[in-house]
Each structure stands twice: as C-alpha cells, then as structure tokens.
Amino acid sequence: MGIEKAGRRLLLGWLLALALCGAALAWEEPPELVPGGSLVGIRVEAEGVVVAAVSDAAAGLRPGDVITALDGQPVHCIEDFKAALAAWAGESVSLRYSREGAERELSLAPTENETGAPELGLWLRDGLAGLGTLSFTQPETGLFGALGHAVNDVDSGVLLPLREGSVAPAALSGAVAGSAGRPGELLGSFDLTESAGSIEKNTEKGVFGRLESGSPLAEGEALPALARAELREGPAVIRCNVDGTVREYAVRIDRLFPERSDGRDLMLTVTDPNLLALTGGIVQGMSGSPILQDGRLAGAVTHVLVNDPARGYGISIETMLEAMDN
C-alpha cells in the first residue's frame, strides 16, 4: 500500500512538472513588441447612445443602457437620436436598447419642453476622450495596445460599444500627485483632429488598433514578450511619461494572480523615489504603462489602489495579446 501511494505521488509530481514546463513554454518564440510609455489622447465614439442618467419620465431605462434604435430608425450617435425624436408623431415612441448584452424594447411617451420640442427625460452620451498610455506596438503590423482596461462610461461604468475611435500624441502639462483616498492624475492636452492611428477594439483587457505608417509612437527597440507563466514576484520597471519624457521607474511585483480572468494578473508597488516624489505612485493617465521584467515586456499597469497610490494592479502582456487577437 505504501509503495502504491509513493508511486502515485511520484506520478503526480511528474505530471505537475510537465504541466509547469508546458506552461513556461507557452511561446516557443516569444513575440517581439516595442514597449510604449508615451502619453496619448484616446477618443472613443460609441455605437449607439449610452444612457448616462434618467428622470422619472423615463421609467424602465437605467444608466448604462445603450439605445440603438428609436421608432425603427437606427441610432448610432446623439444626432441620430435627436433627428428620430424630432420626427415623432403619436402618443409614444419605441426604443430598442441593450442591457448587459441582451436586446430589449420599451415604449415611452415624450413630453414637450419650453420650445415645443419633444424630450424623453434622458441624459445621453455617445463618446469619451481622455488621456492614457500606449502599452506596445507590433513592429511588423503597426498594431498597438493601450490602457490595459476598457474605456467605460464614466457614470454607469458600462463598456462603451465601439463605433470608431482614434489615438493622438498628447502633451503633458503637469501631474497631480495621489494620496490615500484621493487618486492623482496626469494633466495634458491633445488635438482630436490629429489622429496617429485608429482604435478597432474596446475590450475589458485594453483598447487595440493600428498606428499610421511612420508614426513616432511606434518608434523604439523591440523586446521579447514575457509569457504569463514566466512572470515572477520581484523587481521590475514601468515605462511612462510623468515629467515630459518617457522614463523607466523601479517597481516590485508583489503577487501574481494566475487564477483571475479580469485582467488583474499581478499586484505591484512603486519603489522608485523619483516617481513617488512626482506622483505619489500610480495616477490616472498612467493606465497602460508597460511593465518590463528581466529585459522583456511583461505587461501593463491598469489600476491604482485608492487607499495606497503607491500600489496597484497590472495585466500580463499575454492577456492583452489574447484580447487583441480574439
């Protein structure tokens, strides 16, 4: 009996070793990517209009619902919604909308405002623009990834369904340092008319698209990517622009979360005294800052811990690449 148990333990040990070996060899030849770090302006136009807030007159709708048609007329943006509502005639209008991936329909009775125009008591949004950080570029294709998380509606937290979007170089004007309970942010500006590339996907694991040929955002030395199974706790660096120049700052990967599927693959702490002095740690606008470990591209910064701005979460580069390719 003891020999059988020992044999089973030995077999399980070999199987575990083989599994770990297979995981570590996820890429026979790791992809070569150019780490980012540049501050960029990100513009996302939603497919449909997102309900940001509702009045009592719009009972049945709630923030985060995405309206896609009004009285049978497709709604791609707020102007489409206004045009369809202006053509209303009758007692009610029919709205088609999506909620958590499910299509729904609802009838509402418009009221007239002081000018006699119909209204439904809805506050709507069809796009967002803000600052983020470029994570990587594929040198052969110009494909890029940024943020490491989705562009969400600021009020409802719902992922904005993408109609179109773009990225543009951004000029940093300053930084507000974070403190416990008060996230900091990078301040800057960008020209929405000077696109450096198009956004083709808005996902929970980042925004992805293609840079224009010759874009300076794609410049830099390509490095091999680090597979998720090869990440380890210990020293690393992040690359970002918090003082007008893209620089590398020391961090420590404190913990890995191989079982999670929400993009929070690791927890890190900023240890670089210069970055701590400038920003207090991780601030808004640094999302997407590439993480490098052992000279390889390991992932990107995604979130800050509100009560401890020196600490935050990151996503592995393998997770981002899977989201880009799916």
In tens, the pLDDT along 73-122 reads: 999 999 999 999 998 877 889 999 999 889 999 999 998 888 888 889 89
**Which CATH superfamily, name and number, covers 56-120?**
PDZ domain (2.30.42.10)
CB 52 within 8 A of CB 65: no
Question: How far apart are the C-alpha atoms of 10 and 103, rounded to whole Å?
Answer: 53
Identified catalytic residue from 38, 80, 135, 149 = 149
Average pLDDT of span 211-217: 93
Comparison of pLDDT for 280 and 114, the residue scoring more: 280
Structure tokens, 50: 């997102």
Share of the chain above pLDDT 70, in %: 92
Q: Is 303 a residue of the active site?
A: no
* The pLDDT of residue 203 is above 50: yes
CATH of 32-45+128-325, one of 2.102.10.10, 3.40.50.280, 2.40.10.120, 1.10.540.10: 2.40.10.120
Average pLDDT of span 129-143: 96
Identified catalytic residue from 153, 166, 272, 303 = 272
Alpha-helical runs (H) found in the chain = 2-24, 78-86, 273-279, 317-325
pTM for the complete prediction? 0.86
Identified catalytic residue from 135, 166, 287, 316 = 287
Comparison of pLDDT for 18 and 92, the residue scoring more: 92
Structure tokens, 298: 């390991």
Note the pLDDT of residue 6: 40
Every domain of the chain and the residues it spans: 32-45+128-325, 56-120
Average pLDDT of span 267-288: 97
pLDDT in tens, 162-194: 999 999 999 999 999 999 999 899 999 999 888
Q: Which helix (H) or strand (E) holds 69?
A: strand 66-70
pLDDT in tens, 22-40: 444 457 889 999 999 999 9
Q: Is 149 a residue of the active site?
A: yes
* The pLDDT of residue 246 is above 60: yes
Q: Is 107 a residue of the active site?
A: no
User: b vs e for 219-247, b when ≥16 Cβ sit within 10 Å of the residue's Cβ?
Assistant: ebebbebbbbbbbeeeebbbbbbbeeebb
